[in-house]
């Protein structure tokens, strides 16, 4: 959930930055996440809801994992970490 909150903040920050620049140039604003979507995302985060079939034990994006190749074979890690 921390990663979801962080990513939401990042997307909203980009949207705000672009919209501020657009207004200063009399250009149209953008909507990466509209009000309805934002409300729903915040509800799901508050309810600690994971995407379908996720249970919260999945690997994080900053973990090193072996590559699983298209033929199903596994390329193991040469090093556990950098």
DSSP state of 74: E
Query: Is 33 inside a domain boundary?
Result: yes
Range of the domain at 44: 2-54
Query: Is 7 inside a domain boundary?
Result: yes
**Which residue is associated with the tokens 């995407």?**
51
How far apart, in whole angstroms, are the C-alpha atoms of residue 1 and residue 48? 7
Number of domains making up the chain:
1
Query: Is 49 inside a domain boundary?
Result: yes
Note the pLDDT tens digit of each residue in 15-62: 999 999 999 999 999 999 999 999 999 998 898 887 777 777 888 888
Query: Is 16 inside a domain boundary?
Result: yes
Q: At 82, is the pLDDT very low, low, confident or very high (cuts 50, 70, 90)?
A: low
Query: Is 63 inside a domain boundary?
Result: no
Identify the three-state secondary structure at position 55.
Answer: coil
How many other CB atoms are there within 10 angstroms of residue 22's CB atom?
13
């Amino acid at each position: 959930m921390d990663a979801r909150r962080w990513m939401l903040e990042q997307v909203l920050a980009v949207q705000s930055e672009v919209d501020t620049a657009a207004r200063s140039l009399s250009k149209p604003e953008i909507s990466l996440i509209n009000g309805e979507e934002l409300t729903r995302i915040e509800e799901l985060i508050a309810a600690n809801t994971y995407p379908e079939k996720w249970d919260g034990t999945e690997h994080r994006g900053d973990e090193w994992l072996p590559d699983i190749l298209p033929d199903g074979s596994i390329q193991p890690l040469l090093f556990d970490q950098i």
